[in-house]
Amino acid sequence: MASISPFFPFATLSNTSLRRKCHVSLNGRELVVGVDGEGVNVYNLSTSSIVTSYPVPSDAMFMCPPKSVGSKESRKTIACTQNKAGLIKIQLWSSSKNLNFTAPGKARYLDFLGDVGISAIFEKGLFCVFSEENGSKGWNVEEKGKLDSVVSKDGKLYAVLNTLHGRVIFDVKLGEQVIEIGRSRLITGKFLFLHQELKAFEIKGKTYRLWDLGSQKASLQGELPHSTIEVEAVSQDTFISVDDSNLRIYDLKYKTIQGSIPLPNESRLSGILHVASYEHCAEYVVVFNTNSNLYLCNIIIPKSARLSDIVGKPSYIKQETRPQGIESISLEEISKMRKSLNNSIQGLGKHVPQLLDAVEKRQTLQFDTILEQHYGSESVFTQEFLRTIFSWIFKDGQLSFYPKRTTARLLGELRREYVPSGYFEILKSNDTDFLSLFIQKVVDLTDDELVSFLRSNPTPKLRNLAIEKLGTLTPSTILTILRRQPQEFLLSELRISDNFEYITLLIDALNIPSLVFSDANLGDVRRTIEEAIHIAEAIKSVDIVLTEFLRMAKEKKEEAGRKDTKRLYAYKQHSCIGKYTIETLEMPVG
């Protein structure tokens, strides 16, 4: 799941009022804040300190977020402002000079293009590059139509227009490229671009669409459970959404909310801004401002999907909302509910018989076709449809019929936190049996999903099913599982009694021989051996583990010098681990 820190006041904005808007941008770990009528402040996110400030006239209003780049030696900052008289200027502050010049319109986006100059995109679709020396216009491209949104990445500037051409790409090196989205359709929603995948994410209110720019068609569309004020795409499956009172992280692939947090009291949204991406996770910072303070919230979203995230966690189940006796309801009793549930599927109308017929005949393509015909642009299944499908799943384990996409949507609907109680709570209380079907029947679960699920401390039954599904266990995975629940494991469940390689991997993961012949503290060596024996006893293979340890130790001894031989002898004299001692191994020490 995503990790979300509580909001905290980051900086005080003096002399601000409701009429003074705050314009925010990021450059690495620096936060650049433009306050109307006050100036530009550059903050360091790591130290929570102000780096530098640039004043503006009291009647100046920022047209877009300012930008700043620099180091300890040099810095340059750019901003576009308009005064009461309507004069629009672009201002440049740098270590060598200050510059201001008249702009051809209201800038919606500003940035530095390396040594090329200053780039600006204006609200009527004009894209210009200006010289940092004197403000002269280097070159420009004009596209008729009001500008809706702009993004810059990888040397490219992206603009969205709400006229005929839904998207314009300004490539600094290659020039202009126009891609149409929805010919003759007005684009009025928030757009976010997923550059590497050539996709655009559009959202307006509760409605969202994921556009495939190659085919110029919406590959994914539907409705969210909450309206949005601001949104930031993390990937084509995950995005951060903000409404009037909460920040939420949505996973479109599995139709789940990955995390949520309330906004600060009386907060006013300023923006959602990308900070940095790392090898295994993406970190984001969300900026809010009230009358006088900036509030920050840090979010870390793992990149790899996890089975435990897909299906939810037991902590989501609220005991107080369950009807009495819910824990004792069996699968047979749930199956008996099928007739009564099928009386509640009027929302599907004429499609109900066709869908059920497709399920019975295992006609996957027909099922998907009917489903798309019925729902169209909707992404959220109706409760009636869920009840019907779940009753069929619990009837005779037909989960193997559904493709993973449909299965994931069904599970997401089941476990997402904004569904009502009732039948969903009944299914949640039986998640062990339901998830058993899921693990057994869905054929394309990835190893990453299964390993993450194993690390989420599942029940023994689910854990063993996941291990069997996983097939190949790495040393780190074995060690992770055994350290967490060694007492519950049997050798047969791990399927390693006839595979000596797993024992070797386990010994190698514990690094026992190297520890013995190293300069490690004898206490550390003793604790490592104790752990190995504890695990060996749990999986009923002490003899195998100790014999393999002896073999590997002998190999080490043959490679070792006199110092290592004495070291091993010293360990022999001081070690006694329960009923097992080095002497019982009959280890030659020279």
**DSSP label of 3:** E
Beta strands in 252-292 (DSSP E): 256-262, 268-277, 281-289
Q: 426 is written with which tokens? A: 């009944």
Rounded-to-integer distance, Cα 465 and Cα 438, Å: 10
* Residue whose tokens read 């497709």: 358
Q: Domain extents for the chain?
A: 312-443, 472-585
Q: What letter represents residue 326's amino acid? A: I
Contact 199, 213 (CB under 8 A): yes
Please tell me the distance from the alpha carbon of residue 376 to that of residue 222, in angstroms, as a whole number: 8
- The pLDDT of residue 530 is 60
- Alpha-carbon distance 200 to 236, whole Å? 8
d(CA 447, CA 469): 9
As a dihedral over the C-alpha atoms of residue 229, residue 234, residue 238, residue 242, rounded to 10 degrees, the angle is -20
pLDDT of amino acid 81? 94
Token duo for residue 464: 């063993």
Determine which helix (DSSP H) or strand (DSSP E) holds 449, and give its type and residue range: helix 447-455
- pTM of this prediction exceeds 0.85: no
Residue with tokens 């309801």: 329
What phi and psi, each to the nearest 5 degrees, are found at residue 292? -140, 0
Burial label, 466 (beta-carbon count in 10 A; 0-12, 13-18, 19+)? buried
Find the helix or strand (DSSP H, E) in which 130 lies.
Answer: strand 126-130
| Angle between helical axes of 383-396 and 351-360 (0-180°, round to 10) | 20
- 190 pairs with which residues across the strands? 203
Q: Report pLDDT for 295.
A: 78
**How buried is 498 (Cβ within 10 angstroms: 0-12 exposed, 13-18 middle, 19+ buried)?**
exposed
| 81 membership: H or E segment, kind and range | strand 75-82
Sheet holding 199-204, edge to edge: 190-194, 199-204, 207-212, 217-223
Instruction: Give residue 472's Cα distance to chain centre.
Output: 26
Per DSSP, helices labelled H in 183-240 are none
Of 154, 242, 160, 245, the residue nearest 200 (C-alpha): 160
Q: Which residues of the chain have pLDDT under 50?
A: 16, 18, 153-155, 161-197, 277-280, 304-348, 376-380, 394, 396-405, 411-430, 485-502, 513, 515-517, 560-590
- What size, in residues, is the chain? 590
Place of tokens 């080095």: 582
Instruction: Kindly tell me the sign of the dihedral angle through the C-alpha atoms of 99, 104, 110, 114.
Output: negative
End-to-end CA distance of the chain: 54
Helix (H, G, I), strand (E, B) or coil at 484: helix
At 228-280, the pLDDT tens digits run 777 776 666 777 887 777 888 887 766 677 778 888 766 555 556 555 544 34
Q: CA 330, 331, 333 angle in degrees (round to 5)?
A: 65
What's the rounded Cα separation, in Å, for the pair 45 and 261?
21
Cα(302)–Cα(77) distance, integer angstroms: 33
